Structure 1
Amino acid sequence: MSLSHQQKVYIPKDVRSNQYITAEIKVTDALLAHYPDHNTCYQTLSHAIFNLAEQEELYNVHVITNDKLPVVRFHTEAYCFPTAEQIIFFYNPEYHEAQSLHSKDDYRARKIRIVFLATGEDIRINSADFHIKVQSFLAKLMPQLPEKNLTIKIRDHQHLSYDLFAKAKGNKESYGYKLRSISDRYKARKCPLPEGHGSLCYVTVKLPLSRKLKRAMLPEDTNDFTPLYQKLEDAFIQATSAKQLKQIAMVANGLTPLVRNSKYEQVEGTDEVQMLGFDPNVEEQQFIRHWDGNHLVETVNFTIAAGVKDCKDGGLGRYLNRVEDALKNLTSELGLDKSREELIVRFHQHISYQKPAL
């Protein structure tokens, strides 16, 4: 097999592409001092943000001032579901547009978070253009802020999601992706990024614990689910180790996994979110487990992070091919019915950097 072929990964043609960018502004006493109260501050700034976004052709923009974490997923209909700690946005980039302020009365936010959801067609192809629009937006917004000593943290999130079992269901058409890092793609599109920007690539998979799977791994009438989780963990480690995938995690505690670069960010959990910290520069095994044999969950989350070497010189295609091979071995070991069950693979690419004050 040629090196060029190895660098490509063949993904079903009905793959879904998502991109969203967040800009975080820390709320300071100095910023709030320019307004009668923080409610007025958030209303005034959101009005300016929405007006400027319209001018910059950014058509799906949300301002979050209740410190909830945005989570973005594809859906044929537009929904926004708030939980105690998260705001989950479901939307179709081809059709849905919005401008919304998500706030809480008499609450002082730690951050004002602006969320830009990509719209239109060919999201991945146009990702650099979308980022340039957001950069232009922020360059014009910052002089309008009454406080000049503010920095903005920018995060660019991009996902490809598809069913690993698409071919078994008759979906034979695929497209060969020669995956590249965001920085390489943006450089080719003349979208500048700071030298010190952080980056992270990883794959997440949610495995539903079906009745069939539980029956195969658990004795009847038991309240100890340790054998189930231990068998899943052992099979996951064996499958990934065989493909030299060393940065992995298994979460089965009912929390939403959130991946961060542990080299740059403090990693802590919350009541809803399980933080997973990987350092892509470390070549040793990094295995993170979070499960409790006393509690049965509906879904087990698996995460496989890419190392620095995986992201260079066309390595992402080889990395995702190894991930797919590992997942296919895992699901074969578990005896999943590929023609009836669905296993959604989400390939994540993130970058982050700070835009300094004027």
Structure 2
Amino acid sequence: MTGPARSAADWALGAAEQAAIPIIVFTAEPRLAWANQPAQEWFGLSLRTLQRADLRLAFPGSGRLLDCVAQAAADRRTVVALGEGLGANGVSDLHACWSEELEMVTLSILPHCETGPRASQAAALGFGRMLAHELKNPLASVRGAAQLIERETDLDATAELARIIIQDVDRITRLADHWSGVGDIQLGALSLVNPNRLALTAIESLVRANPAAAGMIEERFDPSLPDAWGDADLLHQTVVNLLQNALDAVAGLNEPKITITTRFDTGPRSRNGDVAAPLLLSVTDNGAGILASLGSGIFTPFVTTKPAGEGLGLAFSARITALHDGQLDYDSAPGRTVFNLRLPISRGELT
């Protein structure tokens, strides 16, 4: 290492040593390479002991901490976990940041702060990666339709599949346009959007990308539900995200079940401030559930319960819902998790 580079590294370590929060550096294996004084006090172990110890054995409660570091190293990205219970040290927020240059993970342990759906509106939240994440679902649908065309011999059926491909490619283009230039999600063309139709088109997209999902989904629609007013593409993507999360949650179950429900709800959650949002679209799955410690942080970018997840789908969905003056919330317990998308009635429906 050259002199200037060594000086820069020494400066960085010196700054980390002076930090008031625990900061730990892990190698890609991952193995603890260095810890500042607050981290040594946090563990109650010296640096020499930390470097030689198996933390899972030496420090009860470190399992989730090491899982975050391992995921950041394996995926070459930043992993955030909020509200983690870490033994006697209570509840903390973990930020594990991968450095491509150093090929190391820097872990910061911060006091836990409550977050919510509005947190997803902050400016510097990795919008480019979020866009790439959102394009995956319609691209999977396009791929599924193209594969069907390969095997299809009936010209009418082929024409219908080609129409689906064009429709999804147009949706990808519109999604990209929403993000380009401004770095944030913006509403596009607004129109009447019926929650039942929204649910059906989202199911169709999901099943085209993953035909096995068809047998898992049960529909329970209120046929008299009035329309919402909004951006049909972004709302469509929001519901696809909720369905995809449910599909991920039930993966590997012997009897996976996803239920999508629409109904009119005037309960205590059906308001966003002064705006009534009684149009309810719910997605329920019978998966393992979401850790209670995540709380509303589940809607924060890069927070994920999936081993290889990006933690962006729910942040995107929360942002879209907020732009429509709606609300996104959830209830979860082992064997039953339900996400609720709540939207206002179109003004035209009220006149």
More helix by share: 2
State TM-score, norm by structure 1: 0.27
User: Which structure carries more relative contact order (alpha carbon 8 Å, separation 6+)?
Assistant: 1
More strand by share: 1
Task: Kindly name which structure, 1 or 2, has the bigger radius of gyration based on alpha carbons.
Answer: 2
